[in-house]
Amino acid sequence: MNLKRFTQPALVLVLALFVSCNPTKDLAGAWFGTLDAGHIQSRLVLHLKRDGLDYKGTIDLIDQGKKDLPVAAVKIHAPDVHLELGVFHAVYDATLDTNRDVMTGTFKQNGMNLPLTMKRTANPPVVPAPLSPADYAQRDNSDVQGYWLGEIAIGGLPSRLAFKIAEQSNGGFRGEVDSLDQGVNGIPMTAINYTNGKLHIEVGGVAGSFDGAVNRTSGEITGTWKQGPNALPLTLKRSAPPAPLEGRK
């Protein structure tokens, strides 16, 4: 009888010690994933941090050049994760793995359901600082550095594009595209190659690319802008960048 009397409390004590030595793994930190929408692949970094007993979050759109966009709601009832991404009018529902290092689920937006897996990472990709006018100011020893304006026609409507290209000291390039009539600025160029007067640019965030020939005499780049199924003629002309708005840093 004495054996039975003391065995159960001892077992409860052992279990309590076991649980206390295996605390629930904190989900705070960076989570990285790539959303594959077929013609567009978008790299996302989710940043979670503690907010009392709950979490709050922000998200970076690496290929769109946007960072610290607020997550409207973070609801975690492990292993279930529910995120409301107000900036996208989207929802992400996922399930954590047993190690709490991977969340696998579905990104839902405008009737689309896309698989999305996000993994914890200590070294997420980052959105680079925006280019300043000084970075891409025209200079004599670069054929392509500068601010370039052009116009394409989509469905009979004109759409103005601004290309900002900076040639770096190591011979590489950085660049951004502004869609002026849509008010979308600072879309990173994901690849820039210039060889023998031929310029190739990729803009992964919008599944776009440009191939053109540089005319040093006229100061123009004549070529084709491709986006999705569309291949549209585009001539870029050197221009002075717009003056910064008052109060903008």
What DSSP assignment string belongs to 95-143? EE-TTSSEEEEEEEETTEEEEEEEEEESS---PPPPPPTTTT---TT-S
- CA–chain centroid gap for 216, Å, is 34
Query: What is the CATH topology of the domain spanning 146-238?
Result: Lipocalin (2.40.128)
- Sequence length of the chain is 249
Which tokens is 197 given?
A: 């007067």
pLDDT at 87: 77
pLDDT at 215: 95
Place of tokens 């793995």: 97
pLDDT at 171: 84
Q: d(Cα 163, Cα 189) in Å, to the nearest integer? A: 9
pLDDT at 10: 45
CA distances from 113 to 35, 76, 105, 166 (A): 11, 20, 10, 38
Place of tokens 């999305």: 116
Q: d(Cα 40, Cα 207) in Å, to the nearest integer? A: 5
pLDDT at 241: 87
DSSP bridge pairs for 137: none
CA R_g for the chain: 25
Tell me the pLDDT tens digit for each residue of 191-206: 999 999 999 999 998 9
Which tokens is 36 given?
A: 């594959």
pLDDT at 244: 64
DSSP 4: H
With contact defined as beta carbons under 8 Å apart, do 72 and 91 qualify? no
Residues of the chain with pLDDT below 70 are 1-24, 244-249
Q: Identify each DSSP E strand in the chain by its residue range.
A: 29-36, 41-51, 54-61, 66-70, 73-77, 80-85, 90-96, 102-109, 112-121, 146-154, 157-167, 173-179, 184-188, 191-195, 198-203, 208-215, 220-227, 230-238
With contact defined as beta carbons under 8 Å apart, do 114 and 37 qualify? yes
Q: d(Cα 176, Cα 203) in Å, to the nearest integer? A: 8
Task: Pinpoint the residues of the chain covered by CATH 2.40.128.120.
Answer: 24-121, 146-238
CA torsion angle for 238, 172, 177, 37 (degrees, to 10)? 150
Identify the architecture of domain 24-121 in CATH. Beta Barrel (2.40)
